[in-house]
Amino acid sequence: MSFILRSAGASPFARKVRIAAHVVGLIDDIELEGGPSGDDDPIYQQNPLGKIPVLITEDGKAVYDSPVILEYLDTITLPGSLIPHGIDARFEALRLQALGDGILDAAILIVYEGRYRPEQEPYEPWLEFQRGKIERALGALAAQPPALSPVTVGNITIACALGYLDFRKQVDWRAKYPALIPWLDDFAAACPGYDETRPDA
């Protein structure tokens, strides 16, 4: 099998895919290509939303976005390896993935507030609204850190969210939620590909 992953080095959603590919043993079959490079970039045919990540299969099909790609990787390798079969474990993994993706959505909106309104003062109530989402989610995670094993779509996404907050500094989670520091350290030590996919690696 061979795949192309349309990605960007700092994208936490693409990082989810790359870590999952490590976990299921497909990382060597994936070639990385950059994100959109202009209005005529083929990504707009691959994904009409123009968003990354997009996984292009060997027969040219496009799979997007990250939750769907992770489910695809799970399905074509060993089903249940990333998304458990048992109902309780399955929905715990999917719930954590949704929580982590929500943290990332809010964190990216904070980045975009500065990136796409460069000549205006950032709108602080909007930034605080997004930070509130992140901090409530982190508080819930700190009160009950996710299981480290097995590696699932859920704990992969939470780890990527914490890594992205480390990278972009939207919230100082290490100072406010120190219970999550050893959790992330243990996850990084146990999960194939976590360190290799850091945005600053």
Q: What is the pLDDT of residues 141-168, one digit of tens each?
A: 999 999 999 999 999 999 999 999 999 9
Does the reported pTM lie above 0.85?
A: yes
Distance of alpha carbon 135 from alpha carbon 123, whole angstroms: 19
What are the structural domains of the chain?
3-76 (3.40.30.10), 87-196 (1.20.1050.10)
Mean pLDDT (whole number) for 78-107: 98
Q: What is the pLDDT of residues 99-147, one digit of tens each?
A: 999 999 999 999 998 877 767 788 899 999 999 999 999 999 999 999 9
| Burial class of residue 166 in the structure, from the number of CB atoms within 10 Å of its CB (0-12 exposed, 13-18 middle, 19+ buried) | middle
Q: What is the pLDDT of residues 5-29, one digit of tens each?
A: 999 989 999 999 999 999 999 999 9
DSSP assignments along the chain, one per residue: --EEEE--TT-HHHHHHHHHHHHHT-GGGEEEE-S--STT-THHHH-TT--S-EEEPTTS-EE-SHHHHHHHHHHHSSTTSSS-SSHHHHHHHHHHHHHHHHHHHHHHHHHHHHHS-TTS---HHHHHHHHHHHHHHHHHHHHSPPP-SS--HHHHHHHHHHHHHHHH-SS-HHHH-TTHHHHHHHHHHHSTTTGGG-TT-
* Cβ atoms of residues 143 and 180 within 8 Å: no
What confidence score (pLDDT) does residue 114 get? 80
